[in-house]
């Protein structure tokens, strides 16, 4: 195994020590791929400093991409290792949500602490993974408490976003704070958001970053896409890049419940200042993002599902929760940050 790249070690230490709190008693599983190998090697190197029990698996050693299910040989290796901590640090491929979901469910059998790093790259390791996660956790919990009893959210931005999101407390809010220290804790890394499944939504979102495989393929969009939503469903995708608009529409409309709005989230990573074109980090920017497709029912309590989940991110958002302004032009209201900074 090659030596880890020094510039990736600070982010790896944040992940292993601060976020996952790895101890000598832990067994750390890292699932990566050839595209993210430099990050995977850094994570495994730091994990080995904390525990003698580590296992790094590359997806391509077990299955041709895109993977749609967990290969039996990979499943057997994981079951034999019996991890207590797992990290999925690999690129996103079209149609791989069922594979990633199955891996997550397998980890739940062992009650692992899990960090999900889909689409991780070296830039994100040096930015989002070096944030102060204790501060992010405090803000995320504060914001989640405010949102749990909210009924509607209004979002605008300078590019033309004008969206009403309607909430229902039948669906749980998930505070993704980045400190996964207890068995069964789970979240993305980098982290910093709170999300739920919305009851409905109406309006337009003008997005400059997309999720799923679109993030790696297109990065920060030079021309944004507009998503028209009515009754909680996507009705139209438009933009200067007509081919991309058609590609997104086709991907969503051909999947069961793919055009249904499955997620509404607010990013809380105040260490981030600008988008980089990587969904994994950009969805944590202060602001909102929504996703079409899967509502992550095992986390939100939604009673429906989808094999796809595509996030879209508008920038420089102004957000009103019921009648309370919590953000203007991408900056949280001062009272939300009081006593935290």
Q: What is the pLDDT along the chain (341 residues), one digit of tens a residue?
A: 789 999 999 999 999 999 999 999 999 999 999 999 999 999 999 999 999 999 999 999 999 999 999 999 999 999 999 999 999 999 999 999 999 999 999 999 999 999 999 999 999 999 999 999 999 999 999 999 999 999 999 999 999 999 999 999 999 999 999 999 999 999 999 999 999 999 999 999 999 999 999 998 999 999 999 999 999 999 999 999 999 999 999 999 999 999 999 999 999 999 999 999 999 999 999 999 999 999 999 999 999 999 999 999 999 999 999 999 999 999 999 999 998 87
The verdict on 101 and 215 lying in the same domain is no
Structural domain contains residue 1: no
Query: Considering 126, 146, 166, which residue would you say is the last residue of a domain?
Result: 126
Residue corresponding to tokens 């400059």: 208
The verdict on 161 and 34 lying in the same domain is no
- DSSP, residue by residue, 15-66: IIIIIS---TT-EEEEEE-GGGHHHHHHHHHHHHHH-SEEEEEEGGGTSPSS
Total domains present in the chain: 2
Query: Considering 111, 126, 141, which residue would you say is the last residue of a domain?
Result: 126
Task: State the pLDDT at residue 211.
Answer: 95
Task: State the pLDDT at residue 274.
Answer: 94
The verdict on 109 and 149 lying in the same domain is no
Task: State the pLDDT at residue 46.
Answer: 99
The verdict on 103 and 145 lying in the same domain is no
The verdict on 173 and 121 lying in the same domain is no
Domain holding 285, by residue range, is 131-337
The verdict on 161 and 66 lying in the same domain is no
CATH classification at residue 63: 3.40.1830.10
The verdict on 155 and 194 lying in the same domain is yes
The verdict on 121 and 226 lying in the same domain is no
The verdict on 163 and 283 lying in the same domain is yes
The verdict on 244 and 312 lying in the same domain is yes
The verdict on 45 and 137 lying in the same domain is no
Structural domain contains residue 83: yes
Task: Supply the pTM of this predicted model.
Answer: 0.89
Query: Considering 126, 150, 174, which residue would you say is the last residue of a domain?
Result: 126
Task: State the pLDDT at residue 222.
Answer: 97
Peptide bond into 16 cis (omega under 30): no
Q: Which residues touch 63 (CB under 8 Å, ≥6 apart)?
A: 71, 74
Contact 225, 206 (CB under 8 A): yes
Task: State the pLDDT at residue 1.
Answer: 76
The verdict on 279 and 144 lying in the same domain is yes
The Cα 120–Cα 118 span in angstroms is: 6
Question: Which of 105, 202, 203 lies closest to 160, judged by CA?
Answer: 203
């Amino acid at each position: 195994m090659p030596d880890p790249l020094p510039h990736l070690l600070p982010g790896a230490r944040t992940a292993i020590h601060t976020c996952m709190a790895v101890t000598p008693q832990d067994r750390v599983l890292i699932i990566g791929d050839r595209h993210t190998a430099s990050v995977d090697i850094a994570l495994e190197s730091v994990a080995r400093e904390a525990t003698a029990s580590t296992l790094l698996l590359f997806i391509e050693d077990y299955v041709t991409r895109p993977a749609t299910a967990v290969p039996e040989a990979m499943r057997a290796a994981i079951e034999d290792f019996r991890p207590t901590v797992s990290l999925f640090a690999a690129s996103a491929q079209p149609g791989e949500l069922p594979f990633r979901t199955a891996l997550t469910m397998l980890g739940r059998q062992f009650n692992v602490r899990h960090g999900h790093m889909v689409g991780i790259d070296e830039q994100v390791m040096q930015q989002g993974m070096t944030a102060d996660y204790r501060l992010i956790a405090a803000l995320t919990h504060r914001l989640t408490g405010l949102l749990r009893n909210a009924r509607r959210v209004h979002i605008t931005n300078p590019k033309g976003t004008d969206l009403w999101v309607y909430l229902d407390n039948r669906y749980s809010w998930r505070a993704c704070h980045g400190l996964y220290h207890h068995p069964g804790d789970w979240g993305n890394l980098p982290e910093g958001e709170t999300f739920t499944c919305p009851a409905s939504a109406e309006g337009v979102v003008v997005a400059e970053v997309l999720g799923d495989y679109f993030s790696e393929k297109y990065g920060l969009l030079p021309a944004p896409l507009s998503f028209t939503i009515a009754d909680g469903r996507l009705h139209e995708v438009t933009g200067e890049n007509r081919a991309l608009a058609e590609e997104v529409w086709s991907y969503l409309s051909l999947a069961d419940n793919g055009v249904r709005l499955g997620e509404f989230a607010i990013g809380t990573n105040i260490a981030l200042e600008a988008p980089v074109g990587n969904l994994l980090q950009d969805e944590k920017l202060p602001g909102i993002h929504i996703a079409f497709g899967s509502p992550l029912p095992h986390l939100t309590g939604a009673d429906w599902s989808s094999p796809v989940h595509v996030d879209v991110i508008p920038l420089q958002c102004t957000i009103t929760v019921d009648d309370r302004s919590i953000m203007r032009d991408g900056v949280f209201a001062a009272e939300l940050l009081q006593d935290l900074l």
